């Protein structure tokens, strides 16, 4: 990804190098590192997250008081950029704070690529279980264990080469990612060698939707689970990644979903943006193509204080529309579940009015035209109310929960979701411990018999007694531990 006005010093071949050249060089300067960043509301580096075969750095951001069971977003920068740069400009922090989720920012460097591009074109680095793709998967596992994230709501987005890698990750790990967003990027496995990269960038590949879809299906043969929901962002004046890539991405992911290439609905958004939505068999948006008229190569942002505004402008951050806002809503991170069609505004004044050891009470201001209200905990609907108050029950003691509320009209259409609030139940939360099996035994939380490790109290089999296997144990009562790898 290169700026077209950089003194004319780069020609078409250099543009290919921006997304595709791999050389050895110096690494980039990173922020101060910490080995176990907490939900402190600051961007921090995690220095240990696995074997890291792709030689990437891991940065993460989580709002203070992040509730367990929250979503997780992985955001990949473009060429010449860094994790901190992407965090500062892209707008993801605003919505992480507002709607309650964590963000992981993988970072590559000039040691991997001369212009710090992710290697979306290299089958030794962008396929399941290999290289950079495997490193990102290890980051996801680490963050999920750290924050107790909801594994069914892990998403990935990326710009330019990061967008190409995003498409590859969605194809490699449909069992990990519930959705993705490819910004000014390329279809999954469009190129498998550096030589083929420039062809994908600049010209149509003339493949059928099925041929594009097969590239996804062949990335994880035999997979039969649900496919990720994919948002595609493309500028009509992009000369670094030709606009045809947006169409090819649309063809690829609609074919994977088994739906046609005719939009189910189309609407006009701000910034000269046209949104074309392709619904699945249930009528829910599976693929969305956002075409931004006149936009060159970059990420669409829209600075301002409005609910649908975000980000700051800069090199490759272009002032048209807040793509992060619309992507987050498409995924349902606002608590709507994704694909909401209602026109009612977001309820204001959502407040926690009281908590107990097992419950939380909420109230909010009425919305004109609302027949009822949906209440969401951590992005999942937990109930509805016809009044402007609701009490959620069956919660764990000493635990933080994130809530949003959306108004529902008489036809059942769900409107925009409120800003999130956090309710923390009274009492003490169960203690959780993440460590390898050897360490768990040494700490007295587990024991080993016959070469295998068992959790004290529950007796659950944790696998071989060694340092290669890591689990999270939750102490539900004194001396009684259960495996809690999916969230504590």
Residues of the chain above pLDDT 90, percent: 71
From CA 473, how far away is CA 151, in angstroms rounded?
Answer: 17
Tokens of 385: 């109310």
Helix (H) or strand (E) holding 156: strand 154-159
Q: Please state, as a whole number, how many other Cβ atoms lie within 10 Å of the Cβ of residue 265.
A: 12
| Average pLDDT value over all residues in the chain | 88
From CA 426, how far away is CA 17, in angstroms rounded?
Answer: 56
What are the backbone angles phi and psi of residue 288, rounded to the nearest 5°? -135, 130
From CA 418, how far away is CA 404, in angstroms rounded?
Answer: 5
pLDDT at position 398: 83
pLDDT at position 342: 58
pLDDT at position 390: 97
201: pLDDT confidence band, cut at 50, 70 and 90? very high
Catalytic residue among 82, 84, 149, 160: 160
pLDDT at position 471: 93
Residue 260 exposed, middle or buried by CB count within 10 Å (0-12, 13-18, 19+)? exposed
39: pLDDT confidence band, cut at 50, 70 and 90? low
**What interhelical angle do 92-99 and 83-90 show, nearest 10?**
70
- Whether the per-residue pLDDT at 78 is higher than 80: the answer is yes
Average pLDDT over residues 468-480: 86
**pLDDT 10s digits, 136-151:** 999 999 999 999 999 9
What does the DSSP assignment read for 246-301? Answer: HHHHHHHHHHHHT--SS-SEEEEETTTEEEEEEE-TTS-EEEEEEEETT--SSEEE
pLDDT at position 338: 62
**How many residues are recorded in the chain?**
488
341: pLDDT confidence band, cut at 50, 70 and 90? very low
Q: Which residue did the predictor score with more confidence, 28 or 330?
A: 330
Average pLDDT over residues 215-229: 95
30: pLDDT confidence band, cut at 50, 70 and 90? very low
Q: pTM for this structure?
A: 0.70
DSSP-assigned beta bridge partners for residue 60: 44, 104
Residue 299 exposed, middle or buried by CB count within 10 Å (0-12, 13-18, 19+)? buried
Residue 446 exposed, middle or buried by CB count within 10 Å (0-12, 13-18, 19+)? buried
pLDDT at position 179: 97
Query: Dihedral sign, CA of 64, 67, 71, 74?
Result: positive
Strand, coil or helix: 432: strand
pLDDT at position 3: 34
pLDDT at position 406: 86
pLDDT at position 2: 37
- Winning range, highest mean pLDDT, from 322-326, 392-396, 473-477: 322-326
- Whether the per-residue pLDDT at 23 is higher than 60: the answer is no
Comparing 79-88, 285-294, 465-474, which segment has the lowest mean pLDDT? Answer: 465-474
For residue 160, indicate whether it is catalytic. yes
- Whether the per-residue pLDDT at 8 is higher than 90: the answer is no
- Whether the per-residue pLDDT at 433 is higher than 60: the answer is yes
Average pLDDT over residues 290-316: 96
From CA 429, how far away is CA 24, in angstroms rounded?
Answer: 48
DSSP letter at 22 equals -
pLDDT at position 15: 40
Question: Comparing C-alpha atoms, which of 474, 440, 475, 443 is closest to residue 454?
Answer: 440
**pLDDT 10s digits, 373-432:** 999 887 678 889 999 999 999 888 888 888 889 888 887 777 777 888 889 999 877 788
DSSP letter at 115 equals T
pLDDT at position 266: 94
pLDDT at position 20: 44
336: pLDDT confidence band, cut at 50, 70 and 90? low
- Whether the per-residue pLDDT at 228 is higher than 70: the answer is yes
Residues of the chain above pLDDT 70, percent: 90
332: left (phi over 0), alpha (psi -120 to 50) or beta: left
Q: Which residue did the predictor score with more confidence, 46 or 16?
A: 46
Which is it for strands 452-455 and 431-436: parallel, antiparallel or unpaired?
A: unpaired
Q: Which residue did the predictor score with more confidence, 179 or 400?
A: 179
From CA 82, how far away is CA 401, in angstroms rounded?
Answer: 32
- Whether the per-residue pLDDT at 52 is higher than 50: the answer is yes
**pLDDT 10s digits, 101-136:** 999 999 999 999 999 999 999 999 999 999 999 999
Looking at 398-484, list the stretches that DSSP marks H as alpha helix, in order from N- to C-terminal side.
437-442
Average pLDDT over residues 255-274: 95
Tokens of 149: 């994230």
Question: Comparing C-alpha atoms, which of 355, 351, 369, 232 is closest to residue 287?
Answer: 232
């Amino acid at each position: 990804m290169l700026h077209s006005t950089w003194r004319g010093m780069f020609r078409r071949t250099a543009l290919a190098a921006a997304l595709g050249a791999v050389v050895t060089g110096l690494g980039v300067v990173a922020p101060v590192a910490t080995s176990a960043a907490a939900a402190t509301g600051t961007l921090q580096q995690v220095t240990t997250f696995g074997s890291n075969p792709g030689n990437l750095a891991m940065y993460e951001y989580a709002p203070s008081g992040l509730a367990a069971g929250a979503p997780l977003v992985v955001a990949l920068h473009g060429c010449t950029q860094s994790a901190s740069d992407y965090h500062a400009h892209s707008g993801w922090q605003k919505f992480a704070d507002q709607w309650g989720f964590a963000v992981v920012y993988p970072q590559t460097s000039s040691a991997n690529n001369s212009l710090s591009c992710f290697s979306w074109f290299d089958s030794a680095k962008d396929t399941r279980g290999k290289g950079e793709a495997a490193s990102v998967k290890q980051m996801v596992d680490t963050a999920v264990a750290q924050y107790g994230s909801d594994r069914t709501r892990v998403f990935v987005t990326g710009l330019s080469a990061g967008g190409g890698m995003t498409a590859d990750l969605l194809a490699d790990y449909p069992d990990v990612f519930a959705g993705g967003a490819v910004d000014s990027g390329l279809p999954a496995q469009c190129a498998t060698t550096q030589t083929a990269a420039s062809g994908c960038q600049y010209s149509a590949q003339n493949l059928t939707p099925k041929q594009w879809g097969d590239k996804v299906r062949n990335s994880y043969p035999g997979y039969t689970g649900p496919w990720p929901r994919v948002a595609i962002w493309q500028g009509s004046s992009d000369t670094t990644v030709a606009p045809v890539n947006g169409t090819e991405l649309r063809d690829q992911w609609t074919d994977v979903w088994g739906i046609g290439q005719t939009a189910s609905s189309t609407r006009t958004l701000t910034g000269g943006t046209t949104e074309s939505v392709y619904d699945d068999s249930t009528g829910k948006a599976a693929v969305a193509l956002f075409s931004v008229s006149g936009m060159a190569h970059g990420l669409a942002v829209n600075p301002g204080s409005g609910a649908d505004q975000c980000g700051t402008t800069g090199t490759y951050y272009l002032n048209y529309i807040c793509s992060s806002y619309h992507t987050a809503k498409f995924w349902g991170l606002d608590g709507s579940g994704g694909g909401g069609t209602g026109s009612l505004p977001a309820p204001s004044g959502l407040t926690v009015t009281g908590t107990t050891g097992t419950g939380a009470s909420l109230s909010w201001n009425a919305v004109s035209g609302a027949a009822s209200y949906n209440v969401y905990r951590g992005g999942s609907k937990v109930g509805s109310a016809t009044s402007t108050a609701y009490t959620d029950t069956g919660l764990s003691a000493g635990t933080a929960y994130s809530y949003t509320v959306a108004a529902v009209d008489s036809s059942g259409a769900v409107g925009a979701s409120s800003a999130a609030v956090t309710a923390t139940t009274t009492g003490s939360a169960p203690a959780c411990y993440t460590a390898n099996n050897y360490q768990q035994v040494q700490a007295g939380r587990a024991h080993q018999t016959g070469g295998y490790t068992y959790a004290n109290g529950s007796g659950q089999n944790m696998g071989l007694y060694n340092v290669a296997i890591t689990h999270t144990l939750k102490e539900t009562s004194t001396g009684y531990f259960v495996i809690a790898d999916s969230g504590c």
